[in-house]
Structure 1
Amino acid sequence: MRELVFGSAPDILPEDLQPFATLMDNAAKAIKPRVVTMPRLTDDQLKALHMPLLAIVGGRDVLLDSVDTRDRLKRNVPNAEVCFIEEGYHFLPGQTSRIMAFLERNIAPSGG
């Protein structure tokens, strides 16, 4: 299951990901997964979202229907910015700069 969520493990894990990998290994040993159905917003509920929205989804996600998520957001949420990573899984590392750029474009600076 781990490979389905994270993709194939690299032969050499980057140093900055090692603490996360250790955490995930420990969690996998200690936590029993629970299967639940995620709530699904209707098209009308999605259309009511007017705030800027960033969705980063992986095309190979086995936990969410990422193609449907992408298509529904593009169709129904006018301020949605959807980044679809075709070869990405559920875990999508390396998105910090994309998220920071989105926040910088969409959050007014505080007058402090």
Structure 2
Amino acid sequence: MFDFDPTGGWLALAAVAYVAFMIGRMSAAKGETAGEREMRRMQEEQAAEDAFASLSPSVQADVDQLLAEKKIIEAVKVIRENTGKGLKESKDVVDQRRKQFAS
């Protein structure tokens, strides 16, 4: 009969997982250079700043207060409700605002 070696099985599984991981990394970075990634990041940061600036002063103050209280999820919710942006874009706005507080 077939004699199964558990160590060899785990090794084969690890090899398959590694290959799948590497294929995923290659396909994610496909066609985008480091300069293009940096440009996209800068555009996302500018869009986040513009979105925050478009909010009314009272909403901006509410978001700032929530961030001061470390209530990040609530701040994201306020951004989403007032801008109509998706979760990622709203999180980007909050992250950009937190960067401005840190500097």
**TM-score, normalising length from structure 2?**
0.23
Q: Which has the higher helix share?
A: 2
Specify the structure having the higher radius of gyration (Cα).
2
Q: Which has the higher strand share?
A: 1
Highest relative contact order (Cα 8 Å, sep 6+), 1 or 2? 1
**TM-score, normalising length from structure 1?**
0.22
